[in-house]
Amino acid sequence: MPYTNGILRETLRTAPPGAGVPRFSYDDFELAGYRIPANYPVMLDPRIGNMDANLYTKPEQFEPLRWVPTKAKESACPFQGSALNLGIGSWFPGGFGAHQCPGVPLAELVGRMFITKISNEFDAWEFSGEGLDKSGDIDYVKIPVRIPRDDFGMRFTLN
């Protein structure tokens, strides 16, 4: 199941379901030229770190093999397994630390079960391209959680 885990982790990296983790600043500080006063609400958006080229090789590319150990199978992916060596806080679709969503491990388990079940039960699935925005991405409602705005054209054929 290493590749299934990779698909799930890469999906959560590129499209985390939560819009971010709200926090309040403890002290006044400056960030990217902006002054943030103490006790000001700030949002920690996982999408920023999850797409950081300093952490992920070709971050804009959907590549499940970045989560698959190199010994699992040989591939043409030059950065296979690279995400497995990242530090704490480099991937946080549900936050991290004391405020991490306790449901993330359960969501990963249910996601693996879903991917496995759908792969075994259906002969084929196709994506018509309906429901995409102008850039070719699924048109999501992004806050408070990412969900497709409408039907996005996925059809399944049962075995």
Within 13 Å of residue 87, how many CA atoms lie on the same side as its CB?
3
Q: Is 77 exposed, middle or buried (0-12, 13-18, 19+ CB in 10 A)?
A: middle
Does 101 count as an annotated binding residue? yes
Q: Could you list the residues known to form a binding site, using ranges.
A: 101
Q: Could you list the residues known to form a binding site for heme, using ranges.
A: 101
